Amino acid sequence: MSAGAILAAALGLGLLVALGGSAGARAVGTLLAAHRGGAQLWPENSLLAFRNAIALGADFLEFDVHLSKDGEVVVIHDPTLERTTTGAGTVRERTLVDLKALRLKDRDGKVTDEAIPTLEELVGLAAPSPLRLLLEIKVDAKRQRYLGIEEKVLRILDSHGMSGRTIVMAFQEETVRRIRALRPDVTVGGLYWPKGLAEARSTVKGEIDGLKKLGARFVGLHQELVTAEVVEQAAKAGLLLGVWTVNDVEAMKRFIELGVAVLITDRPDAARELLRR
């Protein structure tokens, strides 16, 4: 194992303990995050997917949140409804009652019996288990922040004793800063992908340095951005590095060997086999 991978593993152990994990239960190494609950296996961001990911032994549930018209925090990836549900229009134009009347589709477009979960439901499901949460706060269809969503998210996490077992993350720096200002004790992180960095005329190293100055403890990177050098940069900055969304088995093997701290995948079953769980 390279020096960077050893450093990353040590950092992962430290944050695992800080997030309430049982580090002594197994050797330190790459942690497994079920992306949207396991989007290639079950309807994404559904309670069915999250239950199955928990049963599978994932370390993290990864998911996304938006606000409904009446201010409820709901678990769904897109700001619009067409791709993953039987509805149409935007999430923020519908009340929770409206959203609950819809049904989720599977990855082939088949309608299922699953409803859009609330954050309250998901956190209540996860709280009795030992796993942690990777919670992404989204923006609306106009790329605008939801006013007050950070406070609502923190309140729900606190009510279930989960704020210490959750990494709150976002692509928007304003959201990351807002969480840091509200709750410096909560682990927060930034998300980056190649197009976004190019548009911002930034670099991975520059963003890692910025997160360190901000007091963040997590960085989530698209897999095209992750190299051995980046793994070492993140570890030296004191950041837990998550790589997304890795579904190819050979790519999984490569990132595990590099010592990436969190492997975020739609195929938690395949990743579990590689991690010899």
Catalytic member of 66, 77, 160, 222: 77
d(CA 274, CA 249): 8
For residue 44, the 8-state DSSP code is: T
Catalytic residue among 35, 66, 160, 222: 35
Orientation of helix 3-18 relative to helix 228-236, angle to 10°: 50
* CA 185 – CA 268 distance, rounded (Å): 29
Task: Tell me 245's DSSP state.
Answer: -
Is 66 part of the annotated catalytic residue set?
A: no
Q: For 3-112, where are the alpha helices, taking DSSP H only?
A: 3-18, 47-56, 96-100
Q: How many other C-beta atoms can be found within 10 angstroms of the C-beta atom of residue 44?
A: 26
| C-alpha span between 29 and 256 (Å, rounded) | 8
Which residues form the catalytic set? 35, 77
